[in-house]
């Protein structure tokens, strides 16, 4: 049995019993019924995921998967591919947006080479990144599959291995990514899973593509889907035909977190493409996903709808890197704290009837 098969077998739905117990406790806390709204919904989710009324969320790790894309040959990005490597050095130098927001959230940032089109063995040897390189970037999926099926499985299993290896020092995972052109495979993935006829509805500017070039980007993605004909009922086929190595790594990370019964905060557009692949392979994995925010990329909302997720934040973000996940982790902290630290009516000596009367007023 492969690592992927073993992992899929380990994934179970949230504990309904722990969800019930969490709801009972929350209803006994000193506030009107469900007065903190979705923060309390999140607290119940955390209890169901972790099988605990005191869910551990202190040890946070945002795993940033990096990879390059052959589709850059089609002129779908204004940024040169070298930016992927340059940003990886920025991440390990702790100067990027994700580093700032992760520090603020008390989270670690772990960088993984899934397919950077450059050797970074020196960084891996120095322990600054994790080496899971599948290849030096994907192939141009406007001309054929982005990768082989074996490579797609290898990418997913690499993400699973990262989750398992980080598990002893991680209570909650966050997803991040870096890869010039990776909005193109992400747009293709959501187009395949939704069956949308007009791909232009799902294609946006990514890393600053001028609006005038959006029709070309949409045409390239439409052509790529027609050439490759990925099977929407086969997540591995979708990843292999139109995906990216870092997207596969993200899918594996999410599956690994779900198998470990640990929450994973899913960032924006590209991260959610990975979440879609994970959900296609195991629908129960969705129960361990927390949607961090609603991205400005217009294809992100259909992704969240397909997953049945409502984002915690709506701040017009479009940076990626895991920045939205870092911001959302503050809300996760709050949800866990409310459930574990807030006094009950009996502890505080508060009359329940009085609270109910205020609620009715």
d(CA 123, CA 109): 15
Above 60 in pLDDT, residue 38?
Answer: yes
Residue 103 and residue 110 in contact, taking contact as beta carbons nearer than 8 Å: no
Is residue 321 annotated as part of the catalytic site, yes or no? yes
| Cα atoms found within 13 Å of the Cα of residue 181, Cβ hemisphere only | 31
Please indicate, yes or no, whether residues 49 and 135 belong to a single structural domain of this protein: no
Is-contact 255 158, C-beta < 8 A? no
The proportion of the chain whose per-residue pLDDT surpasses 90, expressed as a percent, equals 95
**Residue 30 sits in the same domain as residue 150:** no
Distance between CA atoms of residues 131 and 249, nearest Å: 12
Q: Report the 10 Å Cβ neighbour count for 15.
A: 18
Structural tokens at position 218? 């949409």
The predicted model gives 116-123 an average pLDDT of: 96
**Least confident stretch, 77-86, 152-161, 282-291, 350-359:** 350-359
- pLDDT, mean over the chain: 96
Q: With bands split at pLDDT 50, 70 and 90, how would you rate the model's confidence at 205?
A: very high
Joined tokens for residue 284? 């129960």
pLDDT of residue 197: 84
Identify how many contiguous H helices and E strands the chain contains and give both numbers.
Answer: 16, 8
**Whether residue 180 sits in one domain with residue 233:** yes
pLDDT, one tens digit per residue, over 91-102 is 999 999 999 999
Full DSSP string of 129-145: SEE---SSS---TTTS-
Report the CATH number that the domain containing residue 345 is assigned in CATH: 1.10.1610.10
Q: Check residue 178 and report its DSSP letter.
A: E
Are 31 and 141 members of one domain? no
For residue range 322-337, list pLDDT tens digits in order.
999 999 999 999 999 9
* pTM, 2 dp: 0.96
- Examine the domain organization and report whether 172 and 30 are in the same domain: no
Give the C-alpha separation, 244 to 114, whole Å. Answer: 9
Mean pLDDT of 112-131: 97
One domain, residues 155 and 276: yes
Closest to 248 in 3D by CA, of 188, 159, 170, 323 = 159
User: Would you say residue 201 has pLDDT above 90?
Assistant: yes
**Do 185 and 256 sit in the same domain of this protein?**
yes
∠ CA 169-175-180, nearest 5°, is 135
Ranges of H-type helices in the chain: 3-10, 16-27, 37-50, 82-92, 97-105, 121-125, 149-166, 183-194, 214-228, 235-242, 245-259, 269-281, 300-307, 323-341, 345-348, 352-360
Say whether both 13 and 151 belong to one domain: no
Question: Residues 6 or more apart from 50 whose CB is under 8 A from it?
Answer: 18, 56, 261, 262, 263
- Which pLDDT value is given to residue 234? 98
Give pLDDT, residue 361.
41
Range of the domain at 21: 3-54+338-360
Looking at the predicted structure, is the pLDDT value of residue 307 above 60?
Answer: yes
Q: Positive or negative CA dihedral for 167, 158, 289, 298?
A: positive
Instruction: Reply yes or no on whether the pLDDT at 124 is more than 90.
Output: yes
- For residue 287, the domain's CATH number is 3.40.50.10210
What is the band of 355 on the pLDDT scale with cuts at 50, 70, 90?
A: low
The verdict on 50 and 137 lying in the same domain is: no
The 10s digit of each residue's pLDDT in 59-97 is 999 999 999 999 999 999 999 999 999 999 999 999 999
| Token digits of residue 11 | 């994934």
Count: domains in the chain = 2
Q: Which residue has the tokens 């520090």?
A: 103
CA distance 41 to 274: 24
pLDDT tens, 146-197? 999 999 999 999 999 999 999 999 999 999 999 999 999 999 999 999 999 8
Same domain, 84 and 44: no
Say yes or no: 32 and 90 in one domain. Answer: no
pLDDT confidence of residue 357: 43
Q: How crowded is the C-beta side of 102, counted as CA atoms within 13 Å? A: 30
The CA distance from 43 to 224, in Å, is: 42
Q: Which of 321, 341, 357, 359 is catalytic?
A: 321
Kindly state whether residues 70 and 91 are assigned to the same domain.
yes
């Amino acid at each position: 049995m492969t690592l992927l098969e073993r992992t899929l077998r380990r994934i179970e739905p949230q504990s309904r019993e722990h969800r019930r117990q969490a709801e009972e406790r929350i209803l006994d806390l000193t506030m009107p019924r469900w007065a903190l709204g979705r923060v309390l919904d999140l607290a119940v989710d955390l209890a169901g995921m972790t099988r605990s009324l005191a869910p551990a969320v202190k040890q946070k790790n945002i795993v940033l998967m990096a990879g390059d894309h052959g589709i850059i040959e089609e002129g779908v990005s204004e940024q040169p591919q070298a930016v992927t490597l340059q940003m990886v050095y920025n991440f390990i130098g702790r100067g990027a947006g994700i580093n700032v927001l992760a520090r603020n959230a008390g989270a670690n940032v772990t960088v993984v080479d899934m397919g950077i089109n450059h050797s970074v063995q020196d960084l891996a040897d120095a322990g600054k990144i994790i080496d899971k390189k599948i290849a030096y970037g994907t192939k141009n999926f406007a001309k054929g599959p982005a990768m082989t099926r074996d490579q797609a499985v290898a990418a997913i299993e690499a993400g699973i291995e990262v989750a398992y290896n980080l598990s002893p020092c991680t209570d909650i995972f966050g997803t991040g990514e870096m890869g010039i052109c990776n909005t193109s495979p992400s747009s293709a993935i959501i187009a395949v899973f939704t069956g949308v006829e007009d791909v232009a509805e799902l294609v946006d500017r990514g890393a600053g593509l001028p609006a005038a070039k959006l029709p070309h980007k949409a045409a390239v993605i439409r052509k790529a889907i027609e050439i490759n004909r990925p099977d929407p009922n086969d997540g591995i086929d979708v990843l292999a035909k139109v995906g990216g190595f870092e997207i596969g790594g993200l899918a594996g990370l999410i599956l690994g977190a779900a198998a470990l019964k640990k929450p994973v905060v899913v960032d924006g557009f590209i991260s959610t493409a990975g979440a879609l692949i994970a959900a296609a392979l195991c629908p129960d994995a969705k129960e361990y996903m927390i949607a961090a925010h609603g991205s400005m990329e217009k294809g992100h909302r259909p992704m969240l709808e397909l997953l049945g997720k409502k984002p915690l934040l709506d701040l017009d973000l479009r940076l990626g890197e895991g920045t939205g996940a870092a911001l959302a982790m503050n809300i996760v902290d709050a949800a866990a704290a409310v459930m574990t630290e807030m006094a009950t009516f009996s502890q505080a000596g508060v009359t329940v009837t009085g609270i109910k009367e205020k609620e009715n007023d």
